[in-house]
Amino acid sequence: MAIARDGKMFSSRQAMLAHERRLPPMRTAKDVLQMPGQGRGDDGVDDDGDEEARRTVAQHGPAIEVTIIHDHEARRHDVSSLHPDGYTTESDHPSAEEAHARAKALAQPVEDGDPDGDMDDAEFE
């Protein structure tokens, strides 16, 4: 049995190698450290991704299934979600913290009257 770097199992090594050639190249620690931090707040979390997750939840409902796959060696953390209307999303993140934040945002319902999640309670008074 052969296991590809993304965790998928194959009965033959040739099939596994063919699958790995179709995967995106692995990022090294040096590549991750040199990535620009565009769209990130002071806490290092991708603010644009959170906004995108809130829009997805507002349009398709909170995710009924969220899967996180961690590949610590490649410094890649994949998040996929399935929503009640059948809509699916996939994203990859350089850290486990960002992946879990994205998964949490996709699974939480958006508050009524606040589809974008950017209004605070004072505006409703």
**What is the per-residue pLDDT across 49-72, written as a single tens digit (0 to 9) for each?**
678 888 999 999 999 999 999 988
Q: pLDDT, tens digit, for every residue of 91-101?
A: 988 888 999 99
Same domain (yes/no): 11, 64: no
- Indicate whether 37 pLDDT > 50: no
Same domain (yes/no): 49, 109: yes
Sheet holding 88-93, edge to edge: 65-71, 76-82, 88-93
Same domain (yes/no): 98, 64: yes
- What is the C-alpha separation between 15 and 7, in angstroms, rounded? 14
Q: What is the pTM of this model?
A: 0.52
Confidence band for 24, pLDDT divided at 50, 70 and 90: confident
Residue 5 included in any domain:
yes
Please give the tally of structural domains in the chain.
2
Same domain (yes/no): 68, 98: yes
Residue 39 included in any domain:
no
Same domain (yes/no): 49, 96: yes
The helix (run of H) or strand (run of E) holding residue 98 is helix 96-107
